[in-house]
A and B are shown apart, each in its own frame.
Chain A
């Protein structure tokens, strides 16, 4: 597992947990890899993110990522906040284990979707409280080799068609 000390700190003492009842923007995303969920609420004034809160259903990394993204976004202009990338979150956390990088996508995606939601509301495009998309990982779904795109069996060490090593997933 080996989470960095910063990850463990944000996991154990997450900043900005909760909801903003009269939020100006709400972003809800599902983690397509493991099926977990994150909601980010923002309060915007003069184009600046005055307040931001989160709720997360997910692993230790996902909680730390949520906490860190709220810290990074607070006080930023919308444009600056849109610039925050997944890799920035992972970096600020002192790195994430390779099989947990997908959780950092969740953070930036939720923040960006909250900002988009705010802008859409402002433009009168949508009503508040958009239903969050729910992605679920395919259960027993097919696995494809990323190199030759042939269908391979689950957890193959390498592709039996093209011989390339399959991307790493470790097991206990």
Chain B
């Protein structure tokens, strides 16, 4: 490969074994799992195998797994599904200010339908305070949705504690674990959540497929209406090719996580210390210890992230930026602003997400190239001189 890929959060490359499983599936099976004949039945077997593999990754029971088209659908399904399922009980939902857009915009839709939403502030590290969650609870509260790990700054939230509070008050607890699953151990029994979202493209599986864990007895109304697939929770013929990929990736991830975690954390440490030593006036975002092992968010003062990202891209280094200019909606990142960062600093934010195939040599290459690029852009920036350089 002619580039250094440090944007695994946008999608990981397919693991060769996942690729193999998917190709083998395409070549041998085309049946519909819902058909009770000799063509359909092998497909049903494959589907249930993938369900068991996915369940094992998060320590769930296979019937509690509903396959979706990815993390976004899983979050939509969880939130809107509970809102509909419990509409006679109450119309109040608690969340945080730094959730993924698929959570925030699901709640936007529910607001239009007269649900009330309390969105909690986070501290400078992006942590949600469980005490604040408990205070926000009303007799009308039906759902709490807080992410397990933040996808922009990597902070890991105290989900087990919050889930305990939810349980005490008999409120459904959902966690968006898309950024976490496959990168750190995720165990639904330890977390104590009712609902958990995950996506295959975060752990070397294909894009366009994910799952929602629905603890037995959780009142989730379907979002897609139709047939009785997925235990009547998600109608439509299954994306079996993708699901096979998810299952295989989940099985590989379960085995790989302990070693992967340690290796990626060491690589990240190398990157973080190297950047700190070579580039003055930067901020490392997120919690110093409670964070994802593979994600490093850095804000570089006085410059804008899209130009930084493009210049690195030109050097063969592929990263993501959280600058408003690159966001499509041209708005500052709600996560960074949510942690209290000022707008100008948020503009210069890069997110590195490391993966299996990255090496020390690749990190060293970034450290060699990045300081010069930062200086070029700073020399071009009116803010740099104004602040006394």
Contact = CB atoms under 8 A, between A and B. Distances in A.
B347 interface: yes
A125 interface: no
Main secondary structure of the interface of B (DSSP, over half): helix
B307 A11 contact: yes
Nearest to B378: A57
A2 to B, nearest CB: 12
B304 A59 contact: yes
Given A57-B302, A60-B307, A171 B329 contact: yes
Interface stretch (B51-59, B135-143, B169-177, B318-326): B318-326
A56 B306 contact: no
Interface in B310-364: 310-311, 314, 323-332, 337, 343-344, 347
B382 A169 contact: no
Interface stretch (A36-44, A69-77, A80-88): A36-44
Contact of A63 (B10, B307, B383): B307
Contacts of B332: 35, 137, 139
Contact of B344 (A28, A35, A56, A153): A35
A137 B331 CA distance: 8
A133 to B, nearest CB: 13
A137 B105 contact: no
A35 B306 CA distance: 14
Contact of B380 (A55, A61, A103): A55
Interface in A129-172: 136-137, 139, 153-155, 160, 169-172
Nearest to A67: B380
A33 B381 CA distance: 18
B1 interface: no
A1 B311 CA distance: 14
A12 interface: yes
Contact of A137 (B310, B324, B379, B385): B324
B112 interface: yes
Contacts of B161: none
B89 interface: no
A35 B118 CA distance: 28
Given A56-B380, A63-B380, A136-B343, A169 B307 contact: no
B167 interface: no
B303 interface: yes
Contacts of A62: 304, 307, 325
A34 interface: yes
A95 interface: no
Task: Name the residue in A12, A28, A35, A153 with the highest tally of chain B Cβ atoms < 10 Å from its Cβ.
Answer: A35
24 contacts: A11-B307, A11-B310, A12-B314, A17-B379, A35-B332, A35-B344, A37-B383, A57-B344, A57-B347, A57-B382, A58-B307, A59-B307, A59-B325, A59-B326, A60-B307, A60-B310, A99-B330, A103-B325, A136-B343, A137-B331, A153-B111, A154-B108, A169-B330, A171-B101
Given A60-B306, A169-B328, 4 more contacts: A56-B380, A57-B302, A60-B307, A137-B332
